[in-house]
Amino acid sequence: MLAKRIIPCLDIRDGKTVKGINFENVIDVGDPVELGAKYARDGADELVYLDITATHEGRKLFADLVRRISEHLNIPFTVGGGIDRVEDADLLLSAGADKVSINSSAVRNPALVDRIAGGFGKQFVVVAIDAQWKDDRWTVYINGGRIPTDKELFSWAREVQERGAGEILFTSMNHDGTKNGFACDALRELSQQLTIPVIASGGAGKKEHFVEVFEHGMADAALAASIFHYNEISVPELKDYLRKNNITIR
């Protein structure tokens, strides 16, 4: 069994780490460089930074932040948010990011996956997919889960894999924020249909959920935000628990 990964996620707005619900009641939860360095010291395997400003002006600020992060971090990190051109990916990778994550822009322009993978290598491309189970179907959404599309989770995941995605980051909108566990059935199906790694997102609330997502969900990595930011579960505590439950981790 390949070692599983634990990935804290940090939302960035105007250069600060924030947390909120649907971008409302957003509060500052710490400096992204210091917080990232802390997670690295605690044993996180990777980090994801999402720029929720994602404007043209915000892009330069975010690139400057990525440079500072890369100078202080000794683990891989992925950056995403508003990347809709190859030039955006180039800017962030050149600033020191290890991977870029694209979501809505890939749905609107699937060829963007081909171009970024072709220009930099598939190992640099994470395609994030937000989907909701409704009417017996996993429907893909864009714009932060606000706009439904005609795409279906599994067929879209297979398509972006063929186009050169190196990883899939799947967030179940039904589970996100509930802290009742990950969408393990859908994750298992994704993992069985794909040959690239699948990162689980949405629903982490307790240590047992990570055992479930790795054993039943067959996920290669699990991502969470609030439980780490608010010290509900620490990375060392979680990793110790996983080892005791015979989960191979890094």
- Name the one residue in this structure whose structure tokens are 């579960």: 233
For residue 21, is pLDDT > 80? no
The terminus-to-terminus CA distance of the chain in angstroms comes to 12
pLDDT of residue 18: 85
Please, which pLDDT band fits residue 82 given cuts at 50, 70 and 90? confident
CA 93 to mean position of chain CA atoms? 16
> What is the pTM (predicted TM-score) of this model?
0.94
For residue 24, is pLDDT > 60? no
User: What average pLDDT does this structure show over 135-153?
Assistant: 95
Mark residue 85 as left, alpha or beta (left: phi above 0; alpha: psi -120 to 50; beta: remaining): beta
Alpha carbons 198 and 185: distance in angstroms, whole number: 13
Based on the residue annotation, tell me whether 130 is a catalytic residue of this protein. Answer: yes
* Catalytic residue from among 11, 45, 88, 220: 11
Cβ proximity of 76 and 46 under 8 Å: yes
**pLDDT tens-digit profile of 158-205?**
999 999 999 999 999 999 988 999 999 999 999 999 999 999 999 999
Based on the residue annotation, tell me whether 11 is a catalytic residue of this protein. Answer: yes
- Name the one residue in this structure whose structure tokens are 């997502």: 213
* Catalytic residue from among 45, 51, 130, 220: 130
Q: The domain 5-244 belongs to what CATH superfamily? A: Aldolase class I (3.20.20.70)
| Ranges 12-16, 30-34, 76-80: which has the least confidence | 12-16
Alpha carbons 8 and 239: distance in angstroms, whole number: 13
**pLDDT tens-digit profile of 99-127?**
999 999 999 999 999 999 999 999 999 99
User: What average pLDDT does this structure show over 211-229?
Assistant: 96
